[in-house]
Amino acid sequence: MSKKINLFANLKSDFASGLVVFLVALPLCLGIAMASGAPLFSGIISGIVGGIVVGYLSTSHISVSGPAAGLTAIVLTAITDLGAFDIFLTAVFIAGLVQLILGFAKAGSISNYFPTNVIEGMLAGIGIIIILKQLPHAFGYDNDFEGDQAFSQTDGSNTFSTLFSIFDYIQIGSIVITVVSMVILISWDKVPFLKKLKLVPGALIAVALGVILNEIFMASGSALAIGKEHLVSLPVPSSFEEFKAIIVTPNLSGVMNPKVWVVALTIAIVASIETLLSIEAADRMDVQKRYTDTNMELKAQGIGNMVSSLLGGLPLTSVIVRSSANSNSGAKSKLSTIIHGSLLLVSVLAIPAILNKIPLATLAAILILVGYKLAKPATFIHFWEKGKYQFVPFIATLLAVVFLDLLKGVTLGIIISIIFVLKGNLKRAYFFRKEQYADGDVIHIDLAQEVSFLNKAAIKQTLNHLPENSKVIIDAKDTVYIAHDILDLIYEFKTTRALDNNIKVKLKGFKKAYHLENSIETQNHVSIEHYYDAAKRVMVKKEITDVEFLKQDNGN
């Protein structure tokens, strides 16, 4: 019987974190909509649905859903190819339906196979991207849209070249507000007096002070005044009728268009993978170490995308940047996500003019701290100390996420992890040692618990390099499974090369391994007992010196 959860048990901390996520999500929703070639309000709608609908249905306590930067290229191309935004919305509705089906098909279990070092590498990579992308906004250079995570940009520049361009577009007012915001954000959790005001998040104080400072700059005619191009830019409907006109509904005639189905499947697959990656990352950031039902998450995302499309919103996924901001702000439950969505809804209806006074520099300060917490030096040290098999996939994922994109970075990290697992498996197939006896060295080859066909090359090489006139014990007492190829290799070695090179061989534990495995001859497995008996027949034919050698091994 599932335990009933009190959604309002942590209202104080959840409201504070929801407010921070709302402030972070607002410009991201607008920026991603702009980059996608979609109406600006479609990004806000997606954020509202992601917060309220997906937030309520999801079992994740930390994750936040909304429009994703990883889908901007797909959305931009799809809207252009399909020729109309309302036809594109039909593709989003179908994509949501596909995700719902994937949830019922339990496709969410794929997330169990994402290695920890790859997920951590992805988070660190996202953290570095956030810092690199927000630094220009902190200095007053807002050429790149909010939420962009791509290294290469559409105008031919890249993340690094944009950083160097900062010096040509420095806005002193933006720098002042960034510095003031950073001081507030850093000191809010460190100064004892300010800790008592935990209900009011430092991010809200930083935003409020940023707005007040800029209003003072403008009123005094100071050169520090920040122009509207450096502020949040939310559409402001002048009437309810104008607001209703913003809402676009799907054109269901697009169902018969094959291109719509191609777009739908593309969105469903990419959005599902990004969601599962984000959920895995969010679970790792959860200080209470709670786990999300990923199949339920796919269902929630599917329903969310269907609702978003019906209201004219962009496709949504679980997103790392907002989830990280949520976790870092002290969220305890999914109420925080729901609050952020509710604040988006209320604010765009009631106070859009006030929101348009928020400097992007203040939001940059908030996000830079989020990025730092994702890519802390301690994380790099942690994986370095774990050794190359953990560090290399971690750093490879990080670099690929920064210079390529999230999915390519994770794919590369997983491939490297698999290669390392295979390499490690080859090395751990057996333990090779020598012992000194009165009449010479005895070589021990102790087989591992499982020995597969992947270990054949390593074992074959070892057997081929055994010196003539040597004595060897091949021990399988701890072995549960031995592949047919390995048994065949050992049998051939004992009955041919060992005899030709006067190598005395003893097989230990093979009959025990057979009993442990408790299998019979099948197409894929060969009874170890068969090889054990064959080995005994060979031993009978050998010289008496072999018997003496066997007796030397602990009296066996």
pLDDT in tens, 399-446: 999 998 888 999 999 999 888 877 766 655 555 555 544 445 788 888
The pLDDT score that the predictor gives to residue 511 is 60
Given 352, 381, 410, which residue is the final one in a domain?
A: 410
* Local structure of residue 220 (DSSP, 8 states): T
| Residue 18 placed within a domain | no
The pLDDT confidence band at residue 196, using thresholds 50, 70 and 90, is: low
Statement to judge: residues 444 and 371 lie in one domain: no
Which H or E run includes 449? Answer: none
- 184 plus 99 within the same structural domain: yes
The answer on 363 and 253 residing in a single domain is yes
The answer on 323 and 463 residing in a single domain is no
Is the pLDDT reported for residue 88 higher than 60? yes
Q: How confident is the model at residue 534 (pLDDT cuts 50, 70, 90)?
A: very low
What's the CA gap between 69 and 216, in Å, rounded?
34
Nearest Cα neighbor of 15 from 291, 352, 343 is: 343
Residue 421, domain member (yes or no): no
Instruction: State the average pLDDT over residues 494-521.
Output: 68
Angstrom distance (rounded) from CA 153 to CA 556: 71
For the residues 249-277, what does the mean pLDDT come to?
93
Buried b (16+ CB within 10 A) or exposed e, 523-534: eeebebeebbee
Amino acid 538: pLDDT:
40
| Model pLDDT, residue 58 | 94
What range does the domain containing 479 cover?
Answer: 428-552
Q: For residue 435, what pLDDT is reported?
A: 54
pLDDT band at 351 (very low <50, low <70, confident <90, very high): confident
Q: Are residue 273 and residue 137 in the same domain, yes or no?
A: yes
- Residue 326 is predicted with a pLDDT of 92
- Of 65-74, 204-213, 373-382, 504-513, give the lowest mean pLDDT range: 504-513
Tell whether the model's pLDDT for residue 185 goes beyond 80. yes
Q: Are residues 482 and 538 in the same domain?
A: yes
Q: Is residue 235 part of a domain?
A: yes
210 and 358, same domain (yes or no)? yes
Q: Evaluate whether residue 542 is within a structural domain.
A: yes
Residue 193 pLDDT: 64
Helix (H), strand (E), coil (C) string for 402-415: HHCCHHHHHHHHHH
**Do 501 and 539 fall into the same domain?**
yes
Residue 550 has pLDDT above 60, yes or no: no
Task: Tell me the two tokens of residue 292.
Answer: 């999300």
**Judgement on whether residues 393 and 499 belong to the same structural domain of the protein:** no
262 lies in a domain?
yes
Q: How many other C-beta atoms can be found within 10 angstroms of the C-beta atom of residue 328? A: 19
Mean pLDDT across 246-262: 89
pLDDT of residue 295: 94
Report the domain count for the chain.
2
Length of the chain as a residue count: 556
- The Cβ of residue 249 has, within 10 Å, a number of other Cβ atoms equal to 13
Asked, for residue 148, whether it belongs to a domain, the answer is yes
Highest mean pLDDT: which range of 194-203, 300-309, 359-368, 452-461: 300-309
Same domain, 154 and 94: yes
Distance of alpha carbon 422 from alpha carbon 427, whole angstroms: 9
Confidence of residue 453 (pLDDT cuts 50, 70, 90): confident
As a whole number, the mean pLDDT across the chain is: 83
**Last residue within a domain, chosen from 410, 442, 467:** 410
Residue 240 has pLDDT above 90, yes or no: no
Helices (H), 105-201: 116-138, 159-165, 172-188, 192-195
- Write down which residue in 410, 441, 471 finishes a domain: 410
Q: Is the pLDDT of residue 212 over 50?
A: yes
* Residue found by looking up tokens 């990883």 in the block: 70
Question: How far is residue 342's CA from residue 308's CA, in Å, rounded to a whole number?
Answer: 15
Q: Looking at residue 539, what is its pLDDT? A: 39
- Per-residue burial over 485-499, b = 16 or more CB atoms within 10 Å of its CB, e = otherwise: bbbebbbebbeeebe
Task: Based on the fold, state whether residues 393 and 469 are members of the same structural domain.
Answer: no
pLDDT at 552 over 60: no
CATH number at residue 507: 3.30.750.24
Judge residue 32's burial from the number of C-beta atoms within 10 Å of its C-beta, 0-12 exposed, 13-18 middle, 19 or more buried: buried
Query: Backbone phi, then psi, for 475, in 5-degree steps?
Result: -105, 120
Distance between CA 353 and CA 347 in Å, rounded?
9
Q: What is the mean pLDDT of residues 368-397?
A: 91
> Over 60: is that where the pLDDT of 532 sits?
no
User: Considering the entire predicted model, what is its pTM?
Assistant: 0.76
CA distance 321 to 13: 19
316, 215: one domain: yes
Q: Are 474 and 445 in contact (CB under 8 A)?
A: yes
The answer as to whether 417 is a domain residue is: no
- The residues pairing with 445 across neighbouring beta strands, listed in sequence order, are 432, 474
CB neighbours (10 Å) of residue 208?
Answer: 14
Distance CA 301, CA 274 (A): 11
CA angle 321, 327, 333 (to 5 degrees): 120
Q: Is residue 11 in some structural domain?
A: no
47 band by pLDDT with thresholds 50, 70 and 90: very high
Q: Mean pLDDT throughout 10-38?
A: 90
Provide the pLDDT confidence category of residue 271 given band limits of 50, 70 and 90. Answer: very high
SS3 call for 470:
coil
Helix (H, G, I), strand (E, B) or coil at 473: strand
Return the number of other C-beta atoms located less than 10 Å from residue 536's C-beta. 11
